Amino acid sequence: MRLQKFLSQQGICSRREAEDMISAKKILIDGKIATLGDRVEGTETILISGKKLEVRNPEKIVLAWNKPIGVEVTFENKHGGKNLASFDFGAERVVPIGRLDKDSHGLLLLTNDGELCNFLAHPRYEHSKEYLVTVDKSLFPVEIEKLGKGSIVLNDKPVKPCIVEQVSAKQFRIVLEEGRNRQIRKMCDVCRLNVIDLFRTQVKGIEIGDLKSGEWRKLSEKEVEGLRLNERGV
């Protein structure tokens, strides 16, 4: 299989990150600099930034994690502060499925299953994500309607209509099926609302439940199978 797919299945990184490392000439296969078209069987000697890859057949797992505010969803934070490397997620190396910005908190899925990760993170697939948003002033029905009906344009492209329900005077629930960069915050900016708190409560049917900030749990076989069924288009 292609090298980037192999590294993804080994839980080393995503395919895109593997491609970046290959382009940067950080990977050697049997002593030769890897290229984007290289294929491997798993029997080769692979060095990543000088470190030998120990080929494994790990148990494929998915974790649900309550990401705290202030944590960058990356393993290499060049600006300092906490990132994914600051936390212990168990014996298997996992990578995030998608993103959650530094100023937001709540549910983030992590996995060592490269195929499942690529499917769930790919922008062309629609995966629902639910958030609880607190703003700085009381909401009016016109603002709730504007947020949900798909009339807001970001970067010359309208957002998709979505479910928006008011929870309290300054709080609403929103369910998105697209994952544009800082989308909710930008939508609120258009409505002249300042986001005070943004909390993700659900991803593709997986709920955060009673996980405390910084805690994680392993998804059950039933929960993972549900994700895999969707991966196969069932």
HEC secondary structure over 5-54: HHHHHCCCCCHHHHHHHHHCCCEEECCEECCCCCECCCCCCEEECCEECC
Query: Is residue 223 within 8 Å of residue 206, measured between CB atoms?
Result: yes
pLDDT digits over 105-134, tens only?
999 999 988 888 887 877 666 678 999 999
DSSP string, 78-134: TT-S-BGGGS---SS--EESS---TT-EEEEEEES-HHHHHHHH-TTS---EEEEEE
Alpha-carbon gap, residue 231 to 227, rounded angstroms: 6
The yes or no reply on domain 62-124+209-231 and CATH 1.10.357.10 is: no
**Catalytic: 103?**
no
- List pLDDT tens digits, range 146-180: 999 999 999 999 999 999 999 999 999 999 988 88
Q: Which two tokens stand for residue 75?
A: 């393993």
Domain 3-52 maps to which CATH number in 3.90.180.10, 3.10.290.10, 3.30.460.10, 3.40.50.11810?
A: 3.10.290.10
Q: Which of 26-35, 37-46, 132-141, 142-151 has the lowest mean pLDDT?
A: 37-46
Rounded mean pLDDT of the chain? Answer: 90
Same topology between domain 62-124+209-231 and domain 129-203: yes
Instruction: Give the model confidence (pLDDT) of 220-232 as tens digits.
Output: 999 988 887 655 4
Task: Say which of 38, 101, 189, 197 is annotated catalytic.
Answer: 101
Task: Kindly list the domain boundaries of the chain, sorted by start residue.
Answer: 3-52, 62-124+209-231, 129-203
CATH class of 129-203: alpha beta
